[in-house]
Amino acid sequence: MKPILEIGPFELSTTAMMLSIGGSIGFWLTWREIQRKRLDPGPMLALALIAFVAGLVGARALSVLVRWPAYAEVEWWRLLAVWDRGGMAMYGGILLAAAAGLAYIRLRRLPVWDAADTMVVAWVPFIFFLRIGCFLNGCCYGRPTTSVFGIVAGGEPSAVNFGIPSHPAQLYDAAAALAIFALLRWMRSRRRFEGQLAVAFLILYPAWRLVHETFRGDPWIALRFGPLGVVTLNQAISVTLLFYALAAGLVLYAGGLDPGRRRSLNASTPATPIGSE
């Protein structure tokens, strides 16, 4: 792990570096999607910016909320300092980005599911870079293991997993994000209904996170659900997202079976630009 990069007299947080790289690639991929689909760039770039900022705020807010005792005595500005080795919670970012993005979509009267497809296929790689940042920062680490996958992380001797071979859970999630991104890229020219890419992400990623949580070793809030026993907050969110994504997928798929809508999606002529009125 290397939470701080030293370049001569300068120090740079690897978390900030990965956020910057991931954000830059997200905006670049958004622009590529705008060009490919011949969309109105103004509303879509604004949507990407709103979702990006909301995602950072949501990821930080959920992390601070569930670890409040560790932050209760720090200066208020450090609660916002995601660049200063700050913790972030992936689902907090995804949920607030989706909520803020939906509000903007409604305000501008954009096609909800088509806009969601555009954003999802452009921003899934951000998860990859955020998890690489987690790995370098030493957070979101995995459970101790004696398997060949175990790695011994560096960092401070006070770290919980210092000197103990552990699952590189951050790298597992990074690899899963790349695999989901590749699948969505393959699906985008084959989609049968608007929203298919967004629904696919909201099924694939939560399903993966249910498995991924079994490799996590960092303390996280746990919930007790009667006969189900104890599950993590991330697992509870994953199950909820899976339920709603599957329901939305069935409804959208049924609508996408309409021959008229299918022809419009598969037409070779350019689609009406999003945001142009």
Three-state SS annotation for the chain: CCCEEEECCEEEEHHHHHHHHHHHHHHHHHHHHHHHHCCCHHHHHHHHHHHHHHHHHHHHHHHHHHCHHHHCCCCHHHHCCCCCCCCCCHHHHHHHHHHHHHHHHHHHCCCHHHHHHHHHHHHHHHHHHHHHHHHHHCCCCECECCCCCCECCCCCCCCCCCCCCECCHHHHHHHHHHHHHHHHHHHHCCCCCCCHHHHHHHHHHHHHHHHHHHHECCCCCEEECHHHCEEEHHHHHHHHHHHHHHHHHHHHHHHHCCHHHHHHHHCCCCCCCCCCC
273 found inside a domain: no
* Confidence bin at 224 (pLDDT 50/70/90): low
**Total domain count for the chain?**
1
Question: What token pair was written down for 178?
Answer: 């790349």
The CA-CA-CA angle for residues 225, 231, 235, to 5°, reads: 115
pLDDT digits (tens, 9 = 90+) for 163-200: 788 899 999 999 999 999 999 999 998 998 999 999 99
277 found inside a domain: no
Residue with tokens 């296929």: 121
Query: What is the structure's pLDDT at 100?
Result: 98
114 found inside a domain: yes
Report the predicted TM-score, pTM, of the whole model to 2 decimal places: 0.84
275 found inside a domain: no
Q: Which domain holds residue 99?
A: 4-266
178 found inside a domain: yes
* Confidence bin at 268 (pLDDT 50/70/90): very low
Mean pLDDT confidence for 121-128: 96
Query: Alpha-carbon distance 216 to 56, whole Å?
Result: 22
* Confidence bin at 126 (pLDDT 50/70/90): very high
274 found inside a domain: no
Taking alpha carbons only, the member of 57, 59, 64, 51 closest to residue 237 is 59
pLDDT at residue 23 greater than cutoff 80: yes
Residues of the chain with pLDDT > 70: what percent? 74
